[in-house]
Amino acid sequence: SIAGSDHLRHVDSMTRVPSGAGKISYLNAVVLGEALASEENDLVFPNPEFSVQALVSSPEQYAEMYKKSIEDPASFWSEIASQFYWKKKWDPEVFSENLDVRNGNVKIEWFIGGITNVCYNALDRNIDVGNGDKVAILWEGNEPGQDGKLTYRELLEKVCQLSNYLKDVGVRKGDTVVIYLPMLMELPISMLACARIGAVHSVVFAGFSSESLSQRIMDCKPKVVITCNGVRRGSKALALKDIVDSALVECNKNGFSVGLCLTYENQSAMSREATKWQDDRDVWWQDVVPKFPTKCEVEWVESEDPLFLLYTSGSTGKPKGVLHTTAGYMVYTATTFKYAFDYKPSDIYWCTADCGWITGHSYVTYGPLLNGATIIVFEGAPNYPNPGRCWDIVDKYKVSLFYTAPTLVRSLMRDGDEYVTRYSRKSLRVLGSVGEPINPSAWRWFFNVVGDGRCPISDTWWQTETGGFMITPLPGAWPQKPGSATFPFFGVQAVIVDEKGIEIEGECSGYLCIKKSWPGAFRTLYGDHERYETTYFKPFQGYYFSGDGCSRDKDGYYWLTGRVDDVINVSGHRIGTAEIESALVSHPQCAEAAVVGVEHEVKGQGIYAFVTLVEGVPYSEELRKSLILMVRNQIGAFAAPDKIHWAPGLPKTRSGKIMRRILRKIASRQLNELGDTSTLADPTVVDQLIALADT
Ligand code: WTA
């Protein structure tokens, strides 16, 4: 059998639809499913009307395509890649990869010899085939009633003006541009403008603090920073440029200065007059960009030229600059988008993610626009002015594909069905989930209440590093199981390995790894290829290690179980415990900190911090607040601990290693599952911690 194709053995049984098949819709299959004892046996069969029109309409069709993608990746991907525009075609025989550190450096390359441009393929190519007047972006502002739109032709013109401006101020192919913007149309415009001229963008989520921003700027040394003066999200207002200003001051102190800060005037949030300004560095977008021509020559780049850098958290302190390149990422994001959402040209697509995260790169901007889709860019908060906002937007724009995170599903579920059912939602066709495992009860609510039992759910498992979907349902193809991401995407050889790195077959649990590369894989960590190899390719030699635990059930379905490293997933935002610890210990009164993740009803995981104070400092409410503020200021509000637990001492081994296993149990109050504490240097600290748990 082909490695990672264990699940194909079940194709036959999956096709055997229960008797009365024609009548079985998702809805009654769920009712049927609820009666079954375990989640594993809870099969939700696709509605035949959906399957008939689906791009992949049966398990057999999936199996056939999957087999081809694994047995002959060159021809599988070449066929798809031929649908894009290439200035020069790649050398058809050359795909090179080495994922095994024992054979030298890890080097992944796809479509070598090819010359293309992602922006050209997303905009010019779609206009050439007659989609110039199709709406590319529907923009919905923070306040209901505030909106805007751009057709593909208008979007291209805006992108070209910015590309021309950037060239005029000296940005060249290979230069970096940092983008620190909220969800305005100018955010995807900025990304595409960089791609057009071969500049490498690095978007920093506008919820990151000035410290985090400066850290990223110092690492990638951009020629220009693009931002806006202010933003409103929900009922909160933020002076974004002030944050950039202090980040740039910090950079200056460390010997790096950014010469140009292009600032978009976000009038509805903040006036020019109220914006702090530095004349020799700051330029208003509206004063310069519109003066440039609406046509701009494309900078043709090689397949493996970098497209963007995106910083993400790992187990150790410093965020890593994940580097994605041009051709493989382009082909992969476009293809995964098309199949996982069963995309049709008439669809209206809305992904609620922010472009500051990978989901916003691959599935707000690149994947959908490469398919010529109409996307929604939403500036606001999904529960503002009330928890019905999402469905208001769905009805307003007739959204057919809706992609979000389990944390939002859970929070809306808590707000009550009436916020959902008061809207029609008839336009919805496919729902999507990303960022963390979706628990079966949230899955069912999403399916039954939001989708009226009519829309398949694509629970897409993937990572910043993978560029695009890796394990995902293809709507209409397979029966689904609530909470399972189902099966690997084409070309993905997902394997589960044990502690020793040995592949396990059949029904099992272990570490999720990927054998062989896929086009969307990241190629390196910016400036640190060694860390790339050590983190991802050394733990299990010959494989890419995801950092996630996973099990496979008797029918071959994959169930993601969460991170197995020191990364916490808070509301679908990934954050390293080490980063939070380092922020906490930078507080002058904090001597030591240990952070663990705990289950959280809405956020998925919450942040639980144990802190030891400097000798003689008493613990107080005031100190608790200032510790939390420290994290907000150093990382961002989303990383603020949910709980500070004062720890006069931490459980350590005799060699000084903190026993996080014990801390996790204390944090989740599983006090009778503490396990063996006899190896601790001082076992009494455990009782002390338990006694202080609720102070
Ligand atoms: C988790 C986000 C279960 C996982 C795209 C992964 C998921 C990390 C899912 C990557 C899913 C993402 N089911 N877990 N559908 N999607 N994850 O880099 O732990 O921000 O390793 O990429 O999110 O987070 P990242």
322 alpha carbon to ligand 1 midpoint, in Å? 15
> Please, what are the averages of pLDDT over each run of 10 residues along the chain (695 residues)?
68 55 40 47 89 95 96 94 97 78 94 97 98 98 97 98 98 98 98 98 97 97 98 94 98 97 96 96 98 98 98 86 98 98 98 98 98 98 97 98 97 96 98 96 96 97 98 95 96 96 95 96 97 96 96 95 93 93 96 96 96 96 97 96 96 91 94 88 93 87
pLDDT at position 5 is 72
Q: Quote the pTM value.
A: 0.94
Ligand 1 centroid to residue 676 C-alpha, Å: 32
Protein residue closest via CA to atom 7 of ligand 1? 436
**DSSP secondary structure letters along 452-492:** TTTS-EEE-B--GGG-S-SB---TTTS-B-TT--BSBPTT-
Q: How remote is the CA of residue 92 from the centroid of ligand 1, in Å? A: 33
Q: Please tell me if the CB atom of residue 186 comes closer than 6 angstroms to any atom of ligand 1.
A: no
Beta carbons of 455 and 429 less than 8 angstroms apart: yes
Tell whether ligand 1 has an atom less than 6 A from the beta carbon of residue 459: yes
Ligand 1 pocket test, pick from 408, 574, 577, 605 with the greatest ligand atom count within 8 Å of Cβ, gives 574
Q: What's the 485 CA to ligand 1 centre distance in angstroms?
A: 11
- Closest Cα to atom 24 of ligand 1: 463
Check residue 25 and give its pLDDT: 45
Report phi then psi at 598, rounded to 5.
-125, 155
Count of residues for the chain?
A: 695
How big is the CA angle at 227 (ends 223 and 228), to the nearest 5 degrees?
A: 150
**Cα–Cα distances in Å, from 561 out to 7, 286, 437?**
18, 47, 7
Query: Which residue's CA is minimally distant from atom 20 of ligand 1?
Result: 574
Q: What pLDDT sits at residue 631?
A: 97
- Ligand 1 atom nearest to CA at 312: 18
Q: What distance in Å separates the CA atoms of residue 196 and residue 198, rounded to the nearest whole number?
A: 6
Report the Cα 366 to chain-centroid distance in Å.
Answer: 13
Mutate to test the pocket of ligand 1, among 320, 431, 436 (most ligand atoms within 8 A of CB): 436
Distance between CA atoms of 423 and 349, rounded to whole angstroms? 18
Note whether 435 and 570 are within 8 A (CB): no
565 is catalytic: yes
| pLDDT value for 597 | 96
Residues with Cβ within 8 Å of residue 175, at least 6 apart in sequence? 199, 200, 222, 223
As a whole number of angstroms, the distance between CA 487 and CA 555 comes to: 10
The ipTM value here is 1.00
Distance (Å) from CA 538 to ligand 1 centroid: 21
547 lines ligand 1 (CB under 6 A): yes
pLDDT value for 4? 62
